[in-house]
């Protein structure tokens, strides 16, 4: 088989596995539900400049992810598959550019591509809508363009145009974060190469003009339309949310060590030793791998996805060691043991943990473990590249079990699809829906309508020049709203349920889920013939 055909085959295999489950799994709370609903409201309101969440202006991120998610829903409909379509496509494109980067660095390009696609953190984030996979793609594309310019394969004019466009789109994806990543990668690369001349390309007036104009127009427009927003975006969302733990995401300094081990398992065993790290080609990747790990470990705010743009660097670094038999053997053995252990847990404890039997999951894991054994046989016969390809297949087959496990009890995994459908199937035009002291971003997405919220912590800390009437904060506002809303659905969690019972005992239990609980007013109870709890 020709090399290009083989590459295409593996990419299509990865894409098919990523797509699996995207249609029947609901949206995960909170990030995916939030991004999906903002994108849906863009489609509905035709306002592609000012993002809205539950019809409230929502400026936590620039708009690129919302734009492209809206396009996915315009093509495939307002559903989870449409929401996740382009995130999967961008993941595959990232693998393609990792292949191209590896070629420029003299690494094993095919192995780099397979290794990246095998990382659990990369695979999982290719199935969940956030800004991080789009950011990872643009950072990867930027690295490729820089290498082409450094090696004189494109001239300054083309570099200024191509990188200017990439820069603008990346900033419209996640603000200043891509700039930080590129600074770490390019400065470290040129330092160890002892040639800083390529960095002068970023001083090109054409590059600056393209970069600033293609992203600056949006910031200028929303800054004029919403006074005070730019200060909020830069300091609150850009600095405080990313680099401090004053609001959320606290973690110890060693937080990313277990994240890296789990996120790169089982190929973490391809980690280079000290002698290999001293090699010149390894040093060129320090800014793509170790430096982000160190820098983000020093920041108080931490999330596993902060390391996602560095995974292409780790994949390339690991590809330098695929010829080391013992490391592939350790990877295959550890994967085999993990697959067997997980299948046993599913067989003997699955029903208790998930509430239903999961025989199909255990069968999948056992099948994938057979590929791990085949991998070991191939290593023994000195077929390291073939062994890595089989290991890639084994990991992806195992990954099919993830949506299968989640689908058994979606609410346990913070998916509000079932409770949303319970409302939607019986919802009338005069009905209102209230989230009481809980925040579920996907409810407006499924219902495709405004949802009222009482003491919603999310809206307390966002940029709001004027608080909309459906965002309730005071007790008197809630009482007045309930008195004026005879047809009312109330969503609570276990904590807020007690508050509802004590203060508004006239509501009736309609549905109790694993995580979310649904009550209805007396008028809806009559309409639905609900038996009192």
Q: pLDDT of 55-114, one tens digit each? A: 999 888 999 999 999 999 999 999 999 999 999 999 999 999 999 999 999 999 999 999
- Distances from the Cα of 363 to the Cα of 20, 127, 331, angstroms: 17, 22, 21
Q: What CA–CA distance (Å, rounded) separates 533 from 521?
A: 13
Query: Are 283 and 274 contacting, i.e. CB atoms less than 8 angstroms apart?
Result: no
| 146 token code pair | 């820089």
Share of the chain above pLDDT 70, in %: 94
Question: What is the value of pTM for the model shown?
Answer: 0.95
Q: What is the pLDDT of residue 429?
A: 94
Q: Count CB neighbours of 412 within 10 A.
A: 15
pLDDT digits (tens, 9 = 90+) for 109-163: 999 999 999 999 999 999 999 999 999 999 999 999 999 999 999 999 999 999 9
* pLDDT interval class at 469 (50, 70, 90): confident
Q: Any idea which of 214-218, 233-237, 267-271 has the lowest mean pLDDT? A: 233-237
pLDDT digits (tens, 9 = 90+) for 334-370: 999 999 999 999 888 877 777 767 788 999 999 999 9
The residues spanned by each domain of the chain are 3-319, 325-408, 416-528
- The sign of the torsion formed by the CA atoms of 321, 263, 136, 290 equals negative
Identify the three-state secondary structure at position 453: strand
> E strand or H helix at 509, and its extent?
strand 508-512
Q: What is the mean pLDDT of residues 426-430?
A: 94
Query: Are 302 and 241 contacting, i.e. CB atoms less than 8 angstroms apart?
Result: no
> E strand or H helix at 148, and its extent?
helix 132-150
Q: Which of 264, 298, 306 is nearest to 116 (CA)?
A: 264
Query: Are 437 and 492 contacting, i.e. CB atoms less than 8 angstroms apart?
Result: yes
Quick one: how far is CA 287 from the chain centroid?
A: 23
Q: Count CB neighbours of 385 within 10 A.
A: 15
> E strand or H helix at 526, and its extent?
helix 522-528
Q: What is the mean pLDDT of residues 153-182?
A: 97
Q: Count CB neighbours of 169 within 10 A.
A: 21
pLDDT at 226 over 90: no
Q: What CA–CA distance (Å, rounded) separates 441 from 28?
A: 9
Identify the three-state secondary structure at position 305: helix
Q: What is the pLDDT of residue 311?
A: 98
Q: Which of 145, 151, 241, 157 is nearest to 185 (CA)?
A: 145
Ramachandran category for residue 448: left, alpha or beta (phi over 0 → left; psi -120 to 50 → alpha): left
Cβ contacts of 283 within 8 Å, gap of 6 or more = 192, 277
Q: What is the DSSP letter of 175?
A: T
- Burial per residue of 194-226, b for 16 or more beta-carbon CB atoms within 10 angstroms, e otherwise: eeeebeebbebeebeebbeebbeebbeebeeeb
Query: Are 74 and 39 contacting, i.e. CB atoms less than 8 angstroms apart?
Result: no
Strand 508-512 vs strand 517-520: parallel, antiparallel, or unpaired? antiparallel
Q: What is the pLDDT of residue 181?
A: 98
Query: Are 469 and 477 contacting, i.e. CB atoms less than 8 angstroms apart?
Result: no
* Selected residue with higher pLDDT from 244 and 152: 152
Q: What CA–CA distance (Å, rounded) separates 140 from 282?
A: 17
* pLDDT interval class at 384 (50, 70, 90): confident
Q: What CA–CA distance (Å, rounded) separates 525 from 242?
A: 45
Query: Are 44 and 447 contacting, i.e. CB atoms less than 8 angstroms apart?
Result: no
Q: What CA–CA distance (Å, rounded) separates 314 from 292?
A: 11
pLDDT at 531 over 60: no
Query: Are 177 and 135 contacting, i.e. CB atoms less than 8 angstroms apart?
Result: yes
- Burial per residue of 443-453, b for 16 or more beta-carbon CB atoms within 10 angstroms, e otherwise: bbbbbebbbbb
Q: What is the pLDDT of residue 243?
A: 58
Please provide the DSSP assignment of 233-299 as one string: IIIIIIIIHHH--SSS-B--TTTHHHHHHHHTTTGGGG---HHHHTSHHHHTTGGGTHHHHHHHHHS
pLDDT at 382 over 80: no
Q: What CA–CA distance (Å, rounded) separates 289 from 210?
A: 29
pLDDT at 33 over 90: yes
Q: What is the pLDDT of residue 195?
A: 94
* pLDDT interval class at 19 (50, 70, 90): very high
Strand 488-492 vs strand 471-472: parallel, antiparallel, or unpaired? unpaired
Q: What CA–CA distance (Å, rounded) separates 488 from 527?
A: 12
pLDDT at 309 over 60: yes
Q: What CA–CA distance (Å, rounded) separates 520 from 528?
A: 10
Q: What CA–CA distance (Å, rounded) separates 51 from 71?
A: 15
Q: What is the pLDDT of residue 324?
A: 77
Q: What is the pLDDT of residue 463?
A: 62
pLDDT digits (tens, 9 = 90+) for 349-358: 877 777 767 7
| 75 token code pair | 């093509």
Query: Are 117 and 93 contacting, i.e. CB atoms less than 8 angstroms apart?
Result: no
- Distances from the Cα of 79 to the Cα of 26, 72, 447, angstroms: 9, 9, 11
Q: What is the mean pLDDT of the chain?
A: 92
Exposure of 258 in the CB half-sphere (CA atoms within 13 A): 7
């Amino acid at each position: 088989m020709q090399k290009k055909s083989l590459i295409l085959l593996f990419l299509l295999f990865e894409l098919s596995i990523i797509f699996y489950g995207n249609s029947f799994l609901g949206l995960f709370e909170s990030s995916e539900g939030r991004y999906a609903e903002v994108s849906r409201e863009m489609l509905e309101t035709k306002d592609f400049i000012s993002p809205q969440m539950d019809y409230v202006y929502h400026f936590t991120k620039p708009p690129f992810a919302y734009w492209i998610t809206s396009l996915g829903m315009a093509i495939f409909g307002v559903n989870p598959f449409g929401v996740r379509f382009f995130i999967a496509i961008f993941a595959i494109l990232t693998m393609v550019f990792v292949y191209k980067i590896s070629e420029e660095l003299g690494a094993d390009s095919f192995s780099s591509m397979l290794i990246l696609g095998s990382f659990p953190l990369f695979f999982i984030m290719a199935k969940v809508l956030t800004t991080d996979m789009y950011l990872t793609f643009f950072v990867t594309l930027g690295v490729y363009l820089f290498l082409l310019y450094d090696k004189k394969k494109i001239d300054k004019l083309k570099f200024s145009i191509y990188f200017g466009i990439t820069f603008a789109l990346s900033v419209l994806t996640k603000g200043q974060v891509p700039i930080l990543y590129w600074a770490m990668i390019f400065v470290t690369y040129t330092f160890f190469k002892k040639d800083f001349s390529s960095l002068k390309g970023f001083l090109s007036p054409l590059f600056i003009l393209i970069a600033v104009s293609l992203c600056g127009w949006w910031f200028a427009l929303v800054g004029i339309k919403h006074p005070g927003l730019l200060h909020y975006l830069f300091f609150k969302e850009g600095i405080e949310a990313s680099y401090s733990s004053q609001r959320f995401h606290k973690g110890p300094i060693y937080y990313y060590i277990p994240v890296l081990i789990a996120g790169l398992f089982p190929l973490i065993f391809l980690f280079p030793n000290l002698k290999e790290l001293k090699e010149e080609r390894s040093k060129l990747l320090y800014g793509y791998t170790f430096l982000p790990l160190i820098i983000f470990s020093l920041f108080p705010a931490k999330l596993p996805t902060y390391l996602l743009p560095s995974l292409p660097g780790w994949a390339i670094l690991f590809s330098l060691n695929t010829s080391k038999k013992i490391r592939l053997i350790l990877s295959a053995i550890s994967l085999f043991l993990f697959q067997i252990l997980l299948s046993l847990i599913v067989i003997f404890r699955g029903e208790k943990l998930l509430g239903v039997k999961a025989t199909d999951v255990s069968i999948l894991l056992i099948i994938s473990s057979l590929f791990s054994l085949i991998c070991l046989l191939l290593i023994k016969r000195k077929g390291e590249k073939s062994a890595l390809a089989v290991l890639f297949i084994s990991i992806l087959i195992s990954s099919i079990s993830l949506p299968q496990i989640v689908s058994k009890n979606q609410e346990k995994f913070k998916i509000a699809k079932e409770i949303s459908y319970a409302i939607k199937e019986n919802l009338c035009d005069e009905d209102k829906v209230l989230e009481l002291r809980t925040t579920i971003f996907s409810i407006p997405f499924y219902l495709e309508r405004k949802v009222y919220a009482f003491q919603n912590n999310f809206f307390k800390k966002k940029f709001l020049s004027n608080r909309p009437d459906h965002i309730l904060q005071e007790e008197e506002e809630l009482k007045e709203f309930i008195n004026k809303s005879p047809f009312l659905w109330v969503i609570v969690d276990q904590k807020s349920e007690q508050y509802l019972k004590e203060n508004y005992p006239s509501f009736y239990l309609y549905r109790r889920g694993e995580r979310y609980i649904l009550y209805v007013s007396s008028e809806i109870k009559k309409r639905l013939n609900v038996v009192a709890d």
